[in-house]
């Protein structure tokens, strides 16, 4: 595929054309940054969620799952710091009237310098060939060193100003770096202002007695407020975790890039409760564990990197992102945060109730510390989907478009295709679907020539096509075609289930991790 933005456009149009993602309320011209998952998209999303859920809850006897409500008592958000501090710095360009996140403008500027460095490294690698020592080059090349230093200084200053809420300095930084509006090219900026990202709503029928509520901006607080309930009813001993998946809402200032940044999205979060003093150890363990979960999908080690935070959120003593190489560059996919005892202690203060654990080994009660892993399901969807979409040139020059999903994540695992719509082939094909559907999602497809049906299943990412022909009626065998290799083999109908199941089950994926 050609350049980044072309590939991204292809991702978006393929997602729509093949029934993965539709703009929300499209017949009313859509709603900005809100999307619906379509028939194939919801299946892919469910499979990703299942992989995450089972990796957390099924594989760990000390992690349990809950499903808390989206609406919570409003004081929750005072205690969590979201009412006062869940802000993004916004800036408007006076010429284009476009609104931006001030920190993102600076980060995009930094990404451009990073791209320069990478270009320099690539060029040198080409020039020096086999003798090229990348680490040495990065450590000694004056231009690379100068650019790296520049990046460090900018990010440090941005981090500091945001931490101190020195918004005038954020603007000064944008001006000093001569950052212009990507739309108009103008550098005529307004002052930087804070903007709270929570969506407000109301509970109650009459306007004067209604209670102001928020749609939750993260799922984590539903876990914190249930910490004692779960610990007591589950007789959980520290360390233990509570996992949850569910919708979260943020009134993002700039929501672009398709499902990367949405206003309504889904999170998969796990809060791991630990004794104070062990947070570094658990933070490292969860960083490693989460990276392994990603790598088990086989999408390529080079697609991921850690980004340790300079600027920490108000609740954290360490934080790192797992970044993924999206079609528009490396961006955050997941966060691993050491949240200290901030949330539980704060809920103690606001409720006057003890949220403590009696540790029989230490013979004392304390507020547990927390390490959390937090991943956006929609971002994970985008990572899997954009990585899967390929255009391959076949022998003879034809192009096939294929979604190379990891097999266990594919919406449909097998498609059964009667070669023709007569002679009893459809009936046998339907029998096969009826046999396989108990164990994995199997579809029936009889429209068009078989070659075109193969192409359609490739474009949907279906791992196996099962073709029923006249010989099948005689000897109970079929052709099994595999998506990635396009190899076809003749196998007995009786062997289909065992041959396919091992390759497409979530259990197979879990065993690799």
User: Which spans of this chain sit near ligand ATP (rule: CB under 6 A)?
Assistant: 218, 250, 252, 261-262, 265, 267, 332-335, 374-376, 378-379
Supply φ then ψ for residue 166, to 5 degrees.
Answer: -85, 80
Judge whether 90 and 104 are in contact, CB under 8 Å.
Answer: no
Shorter beta-carbon distance to ligand ATP: residue 379 or 456: 379
Strands (E), 233-340: 240-249, 264-274, 304-308, 318-326, 329-340
102-128 and 167-176 helices, crossing angle to 10°: 40
Q: Tell me how far CA of residue 106 lies from CA of 55, 329, 335, in angstroms.
A: 37, 16, 21
Judge whether 317 and 329 are in contact, CB under 8 Å.
Answer: no
Shorter beta-carbon distance to ligand ATP: residue 326 or 464: 326
Shorter beta-carbon distance to ligand ATP: residue 92 or 218: 218
CB neighbour burial string for 443-455, b if at least 16 within 10 angstroms, e if fewer: bbbbeeebeebbb
Q: How far is the CB of 510 from ligand ATP (least distance, A)?
A: 21
Q: How far is the CB of 100 from ligand ATP (least distance, A)?
A: 14
Q: How far is the CB of 418 from ligand ATP (least distance, A)?
A: 42
Q: How far is the CB of 125 from ligand ATP (least distance, A)?
A: 31
| C-alpha to C-alpha distance for 80 and 220, rounded to whole angstroms | 10
Q: How far is the CB of 268 from ligand ATP (least distance, A)?
A: 9
Residue whose beta carbon is closest to ligand ATP: 376
The token duo for 280 is 């570094």
Shorter beta-carbon distance to ligand ATP: residue 263 or 481: 263
Shorter beta-carbon distance to ligand ATP: residue 265 or 282: 265
Shorter beta-carbon distance to ligand ATP: residue 378 or 458: 378
Shorter beta-carbon distance to ligand ATP: residue 221 or 442: 221
| Span between the terminal Cα atoms of the chain, in Å | 30
| C-alpha to C-alpha distance for 300 and 220, rounded to whole angstroms | 30
Q: What is the CA radius of gyration of the chain?
A: 26
Shorter beta-carbon distance to ligand ATP: residue 95 or 257: 257
Q: How far is the CB of 256 from ligand ATP (least distance, A)?
A: 11
Q: Tell me how far CA of residue 513 lies from CA of 45, 155, 290, 303, 444, in angstroms.
A: 19, 35, 10, 17, 32
HSE of 483, CA atoms in CB hemisphere, 13 A: 29
Q: How far is the CB of 130 from ligand ATP (least distance, A)?
A: 39
Q: How far is the CB of 335 from ligand ATP (least distance, A)?
A: 4
């Amino acid at each position: 595929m050609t350049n980044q933005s072309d590939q991204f456009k292809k991702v978006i149009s393929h997602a729509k054309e093949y029934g993965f993602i539709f703009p929300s309320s499209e017949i009313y011209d859509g709603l900005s940054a809100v999307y619906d998952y379509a028939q194939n998209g919801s299946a892919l999303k469910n499979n990703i969620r299942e992989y995450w859920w089972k990796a957390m809850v099924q594989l760990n006897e000390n992690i349990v799952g809950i499903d808390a409500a989206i609406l919570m008592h409003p004081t929750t958000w005072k205690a969590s710091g979201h009412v006062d501090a869940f802000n993004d710095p916004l800036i408007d360009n006076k010429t284009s009237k476009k609104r931006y996140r001030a920190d993102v403008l600076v980060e995009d500027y930094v990404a451009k310098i990073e791209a320069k460095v990478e270009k320099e490294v690539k060029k040198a690698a080409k020039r020096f060939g086999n003798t090229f020592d990348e680490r040495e080059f990065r450590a000694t090349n004056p231009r690379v060193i100068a650019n790296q230093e520049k990046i460090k200084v900018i990010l440090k200053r941005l981090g500091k100003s945001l931490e101190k809420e020195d918004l005038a300095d954020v603007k000064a930084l944008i001006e000093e770096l001569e950052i212009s509006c990507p739309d108009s090219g103008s550098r005529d900026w307004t002052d930087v202002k804070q903007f709270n990202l929570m969506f407000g709503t109301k509970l109650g029928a009459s306007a004067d007695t209604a209670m102001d509520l928020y749609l939750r901006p993260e799922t984590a607080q539903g876990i914190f407020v249930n910490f004692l309930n779960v610990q007591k009813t589950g007789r959980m001993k520290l360390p233990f975790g509570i996992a949850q998946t569910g919708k979260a809402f943020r009134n993002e200032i700039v929501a672009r890039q398709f499902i990367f940044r949405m206003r309504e999205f889904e999170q998969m979060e796990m809060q791991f409760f630990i004794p104070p003093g062990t947070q570094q150890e658990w933070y490292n363990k969860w960083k490693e564990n989460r990276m392994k979960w990603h790598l088990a999908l086989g999408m390529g080690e080079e697609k991921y990197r850690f980004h340790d935070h300079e600027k920490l959120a108000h609740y954290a003593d360490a934080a790192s992102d797992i970044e993924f190489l999206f079609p528009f560059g490396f961006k955050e996919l997941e966060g691993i945060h050491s949240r200290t005892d901030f949330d539980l202690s704060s809920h103690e203060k606001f409720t006057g109730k003890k949220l403590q654990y009696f540790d029989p080994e230490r013979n004392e009660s304390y507020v547990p510390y927390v390490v959390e892993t937090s991943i956006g399901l929609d971002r994970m969807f985008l990572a899997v989907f954009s990585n899967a979409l390929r255009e391959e040139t076949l022998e003879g020059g034809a192009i096939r478009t294929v979604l190379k999903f990891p097999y266990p994540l594919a919406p449909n695992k097998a498609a059964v295709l009667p070669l023709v719509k007569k002679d009893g082939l459809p009936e046998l094909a339907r029998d096969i679907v009826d046999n396989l559907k108990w164990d994995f999602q199997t579809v029936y497809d009889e429209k068009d020539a078989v070659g075109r049906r193969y192409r359609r299943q490739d474009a949907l990412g279906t791992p196996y096509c099962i073709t029923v022909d006249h010989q099948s009626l005689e000897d109970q065998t079929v052709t099994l075609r595999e998506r990635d290799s396009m190899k076809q083999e003749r196998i007995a109908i009786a062997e289909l289930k065992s041959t396919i199941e091992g390759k497409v089950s979530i259990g197979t994926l879990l065993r690799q991790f």
